[in-house]
Amino acid sequence: MKITLYSVLVLLLLVLSVSAETTVNKSIRISEGERHSGGCSSVNGSIVVEQGAEVRGGCKTVNGSIKIAGDCVVQGLHSVNGSIRVGEKSDVASDIETVNGSVHCEEGVRVGGDIETVNGSVDLQGAEVKDGISTFNGDVTLARKSIVRGDIVVKDSKSHNNRKAPLRITIDNSVVEGDIINHEEDIEVIVYLRNGGQVRGDIYDAQVEEE
């Protein structure tokens, strides 16, 4: 995934489309309530989508962050080195993907696909993910009645992982309907179940602590 995701993200930014807003060094801002017919792509700039806006294409950046305000409708969100934040009651129709950035989704956010990271953490605060969450090296937190309909997977990096601290998956008053699976032999994974947090599937190769 490391090579594939990075390559795909950079390649997408190099392909210009007539309907897409594309920049190299500038940031992109979609105004409050605006209906943007295409996508947004930047190499070194950030992308900001203001309150109640709709973006009908994907938002992609290499070195910038992506910030989606509340009550927005967007498609896929993709960043290599920047964080991704999605505000309250926004809909992300497809996947959220980062390499080195974190992902944060606030209350009422609905993600129609997967959340994927390499080194970034994932933080859901009352959000719903239709599919699953996967990471190589990032902590995962579900809180405030978040729901993940699929699995949470720690992927195998296929090389030695130098992480010393345990990878933490915290399920706090939230639900994982699928499994939690650790494929990385070099990482200790601890699943914390807090305030009635549930994993309705199975937990593989991870320690479980109920609090």
pLDDT digits (tens, 9 = 90+) for 27-81: 999 999 999 999 999 999 999 999 999 999 999 999 999 999 999 999 999 999 9
Report the C-alpha gap between 82 and 80 in whole angstroms. 6
Query: The dihedral of CA 12, 18, 21, 22: what is its sign?
Result: positive
- Please state the pTM of the whole predicted model: 0.90
Tokens 């930047």: give the residue.
42
pLDDT of residue 17: 41
Q: What is the rounded radius of gyration, in angstroms, for the C-alpha atoms of the chain? A: 17
Q: Burial of 58 by CB count in 10 Å (0-12 exposed, 13-18 middle, 19+ buried)? A: buried
